Amino acid sequence: MRSTSLLSSLSLLASFLAASHAKGSFHESLKNHDNFITADGYGPERWGCSFRDTQVHESSSGTRITIGKDSDLKPYSCGELIYQEEDLAYGHYSIDMIASNVVGHVTAFFLIANGDTEIDVELTGLNNNIAWMNIWHDNKQNPVSVDLSFDTSEDWHTYSFEWRKNYVAWFIDGELVLNRTDIPTTKPWDTNYRLVINSWTQVNPEVNIEWAGQFEYPTDGQVPQAQFRNIRYRP
Ligand SMILES: *[C@@H]1O[C@H](CO)[C@@H](O)[C@H](O)[C@H]1NC(C)=O
């Protein structure tokens, strides 16, 4: 009796300790941004755009991030939403997206620990029949493209990744498409991981041109946009 109760107290203690790092599941419809920070007034130099909250739009079908020409800081304005929790952990992350089909316009969903590791799903308007899965680690990118049987700009599709200690696996519409065990990731308890969606423009002819193409604002009146809904996480 004694040893049984000691064992069960130990396992209770163990699960309590594990729980202090583990997060609960969450689901964000993205119809509103109550649990997000909207980036405003900055953005990487090489992208040629600054994040502006005016480009991030709530709607009954989710979030739309548009590209504007009205930035006072850079040639274009773009958008980014950052989930409020700062120390996300291993688990399964997913989102529904409709990508932009404008060349040079990137639609992205990623987990980021600045300077440590980034786990990405990126769709570019240069080729809407592939998805890019990437891990940044030690300042090195490791992108892999996955061929798709659909056009990413035409309809909602679910893009996910499962991040574990020994691997990152990506799924599209629930089907496993890639599993990488060759790139390490910084452990969640050694840094702070945040979850981000963004939509931005590639304008520097020297960077990423073969990957995303060079952005030019459409002259036919089209406003470039990327759509996002249903961020889901489960440990
Ligand atoms: C990815 O590969 C690792 C190593 O083979 C394996 O343990 C893991 O189950 C795989 N993940 C998925 C989602 O298949």
User: Each residue of 54-97: pLDDT tens digit?
Assistant: 999 999 999 999 999 976 778 999 999 999 999 999 999 999 99
Q: Is the pTM of this model over 0.95?
A: no
Distance 157 CA to ligand 1 centre (A): 23
3-state secondary structure of 76: strand
Q: Looking at the CA of residue 179, tell me the nearest atom of ligand 1.
A: 1
Tell me what pLDDT residue 72 has: 74
Spatial contact of 61 and 70, defined as CB atoms under 8 Å apart: no
Look at ligand 1, atom 13, and give the residue with the nearest C-alpha: 169
User: Each residue of 168-184: pLDDT tens digit?
Assistant: 999 999 999 999 999 99
Tell me what pLDDT residue 209 has: 80
Tell me what pLDDT residue 193 has: 97
Q: Looking at the CA of residue 162, tell me the nearest atom of ligand 1.
A: 13
User: Each residue of 109-129: pLDDT tens digit?
Assistant: 999 999 899 999 999 999 999
Give the pocket of ligand 1 (CB within 6 Å).
162, 167, 169, 176, 179, 181
User: Each residue of 187-227: pLDDT tens digit?
Assistant: 999 999 999 999 999 988 777 788 999 999 999 999 999 99
Look at ligand 1, atom 3, and give the residue with the nearest C-alpha: 167
User: Which of 3.40.50.1820, 2.60.120.200, 3.30.565.10, 3.40.50.2000 would CATH assign to domain 2-234?
Assistant: 2.60.120.200
- Stated length of the chain: 235
Long-range contacts of 181-188 (CB under 8 A, 24+ apart): 183/135, 183/137, 183/142, 184/137, 185/117, 185/119, 185/135, 185/137, 186/113, 186/116, 186/117, 186/137, 188/21, 188/87, 188/88, 188/89, 188/90
